[in-house]
Amino acid sequence: MSDFWARAADLRAEQQPLISRFQAAFSTGIVVYGAGFVGTWAVQYLQGLGAKVVCVADRNPAKWHTAIRGVPVVAPEDPAVAETGWVLVAARHAAKAVVEQLTATGLTALSFDAFFAVSRYPDILEINNAFLADELSRQTLGAVVLAWLSGSPAPCRDVQAPDQYFCLPGFADDDRHIFIDAGAYVGDTVEKFIWACHGAFKRIHAFEPGERQFAALRQRTERLAAEWALDDGQIALVNAGVAEASGRMACVNVSGPAQSLNLVEAAADRDDLPTSAVYSLDDYLQGQPASLIKADVEGLELALLRGAAATIRRYGPKMALSVYHFPSDIFEIPAYVRRLDPGYRFALRHHSPLLMETVLYCWKD
């Protein structure tokens, strides 16, 4: 594992000239390949850098003739793709193969993850050098960065850790825990928590905006309450999302028929989308304590933290935060937590053989 950072540094140096060429092409135009979760974010990010994004290429015909931030979504065979010639591939789990295919047709292609890793390398190194508390965390970050740069998830498998959300001491073995499960899905993490703490905890607050997922969550927690002889009301279920401010948000799934939902600000031109209630944790808790917060909220983790700022400052809860949805999460989220309370310490673990399920663990001594 010790050579992750050395290999990443070599790839960064090798890819830097191509990154510079892409940056020079921003004024004339580039293409983003992949209209899914990362691709949608990549369009916004690149536009923020001043890039002209000509179109977004995607193989899903259902997405053609739609637009992302004013950029048309087209088939990969659309003439605009070849005419533009510069393609950043944001189809994360197929990036290497797509880059090879596009390069074989004469296009200049690179994975968006590699572009991001090279261009934001100083920010990533700052987290590695100034935030992470242990060597395994630093090697984990090195493996993730190497996977971004190489397009292969193999380094992730080398650092894959068990017991997601509860792998560090004190993240489950405390009978005083008041556990916030933000993004409870069908109750899988609630069940893991109950087993990890042997059924000894004060309360669980489980948030899930999806109707089908919430129904499964309710069914599961009813079973758990009976099996563990829990008190009535010891598990509070909330059919809502968690965000920076309370209100309603639109429910979308930009990556196809997956079973999890993304919540976004409702758009005037998309009144066909279903909506869900959302709460800020500060509004929901109304000054009451939380001792452990788990967040896997499809890219709203930073918004969740902003909406929980008062709770975090007052009670200093342990937190297990997903930092893989947006590439910038891996340095923006720990930096924000430290601004809230400089006393927090951090560890990073990766819990999947793919580029997903990277979790930042935050605690105070």
**Beta strands 241-242; 262-264: pairing state:** unpaired
| CATH homologous superfamily of 4-120 | NAD(P)-binding Rossmann-like Domain (3.40.50.720)
35: number of Cβ within 10 Å: 29
For 258, the 3-state DSSP assignment is coil
User: What does the pLDDT look like over 202-236, one tens digit per residue?
Assistant: 999 999 998 999 999 999 999 999 999 999 999 99
The residue ranges of the chain whose pLDDT is under 50 are 1, 254-258, 267-269
Q: What is the pLDDT of residue 268?
A: 44
- Residue extent(s) of CATH 3.40.50.150 domains in the chain: 160-364
What is the Cα gyration radius of the chain? 21
Contact 324, 333 (CB under 8 A): no
pLDDT at 1: 47
HSE on the CB side for 299, CA within 13 Å? 20
The candidate with the shortest Cα–Cα distance to 58, out of 79, 80, 34, is 34
The Cα-based distances of 23 to 112, 249, 290, 341 in angstroms read: 12, 34, 45, 36
**Integer Cα distance of 177 and 195 in angstroms:** 13
DSSP state of 292: E
**Where in the chain is CATH 3.40.50.720?**
4-120
Residue 173: the pLDDT is 85
Strand partners, 111: 89
Identify the residue whose tokens are 């563990």: 228
Q: Which CATH architecture has domain 160-364?
A: 3-Layer(aba) Sandwich (3.40)
Planar angle of CA 75, 77, 79, nearest 5 degrees: 105
- pTM score of the predicted model: 0.94
295: its two tokens: 């967040």
The three-state secondary structure class of 160 is strand
Q: pLDDT digits over 44-63, tens only?
A: 999 999 999 999 999 999 99
State which H helix or E strand residue 301 sits in: helix 301-307
Please report the pLDDT score of residue 233 as a whole number.
Answer: 92
Asked if 276 and 294 count as a contact pair (C-beta separation under 8 A), the reply is: no
Give one word for 267, left, alpha or beta, with left for phi > 0 and alpha for psi -120 to 50: beta
Q: How far apart are CA 181 and CA 219, in angstroms?
A: 16
Give DSSP secondary structure letters for 254-302.
TTSS-SS-EEE---TT-TTS-EEEEE-HHHHHTT---SEEEE--TT-HH
- Residue 332, CB-side half-sphere exposure with 13 Å CA sphere: 16
The pLDDT tens digits for 275-287 are 889 999 999 999 9
